[in-house]
Structure 1
């Protein structure tokens, strides 16, 4: 497994990897954090995301980060992070291929995001996921993220949703890196 910082990530690079996940339970209100308080079982289905032609291109490494994990030439996982308007680091996208889950790859990618955040003197990482992605929510909880809010209408206009989804917002406080020479 090779983890590398890259300047661009495209849908073509991701096309050979399966980033779908199975939904067997969903988080339900109340979403008053700091962790998920309740989940309910649902009829199992698979969630797939459509990939955009060009996901992202980094033009300024001080403002954004793209980290890709590759195995045998295929993308095994990636994380996209940017500096948000409110001086937080924001995880814009994050995925691990099915064939590489539960091997520590998500943690390794998130560690890179934390390192980048600290190096820039930012103190918080923010990300959003959906109420039907309970495995991701559990990972964020184990990593130390706290549930900070929700939006039940964010996905309501998407016609292809099999079930209503609630956007869940997670936050991780990080300590900035000490100044050089300390």
Structure 2
């Protein structure tokens, strides 16, 4: 992302319908899950964060070798965004990956993920990590298709936020061995 691109992504529709959730287990040194149906509702991450704060934070990523923001465009419209940085544990951390609702299932998320792999490998990092919630089943399945495995989960991290207190954080890793 360049300085001129700042804020071009703020009109993206990051909403999705939630109709199921992962039920996570740790059995014999391996994380597994089943999927359970739940009452359907719509979720949008942009309601949980301040877009202005995100734009301000994006400026900190410009010309910084340890962090970057990638935008995907369809013609002149930003339809995908990924925020990536070198984390304290030397993994590339995907802080945010989002594709506009109207442009999902066209390979944009996969292209952003491939760019994350290139970025991490160019820096000699051991892999990529990210966190999502157990109610974002479509995203979890996408990460799994991209080769990620569950490295852990935390059932308490969202307990202090009433609107999402029932969600479970799921930590995904792609290891470059």
Q: TM-score, normalised by structure 2?
A: 0.86
Secondary structure in 1 aligned to 2:33?
coil
Aligned to 1:134: 137
Aligned ranges for residues 79-158 of structure 1 at < 5 Å? 79-158=82-161
- 2:48 paired with 1:48: no
Using the alignment, how far apart are the partners of 1:135 and 1:152 within structure 2?
19
Question: Do 1:24 and 1:41's aligned partners in 2 also have CA atoms closer than 8 Å?
Answer: yes
- 2:52 paired with 1:20: no
1:118/1:151 CA distance change after superposition, 3 Å: same
Number of equivalent positions: 169
Q: TM-score, normalised by structure 1?
A: 0.84
Q: Shift of residue 89 of structure 1? A: 0.6
Aligned to 1:167: 169
Q: Shift of residue 34 of structure 1? A: 5.8
1:65/1:36 CA distance change after superposition, 3 Å: farther
Q: What's the C-alpha RMSD, in Å, of the aligned pairs? A: 2.1
Compare relative contact order (CA 8 Å, sep 6+) and give the higher one, 1 or 2.
1
Secondary structure in 2 aligned to 1:136?
helix
- Structure with the bigger percentage of helix: 2
Unpaired runs of 5+ residues, structure 1, are: 176-182
Unpaired runs of 5+ residues, structure 2, are: none
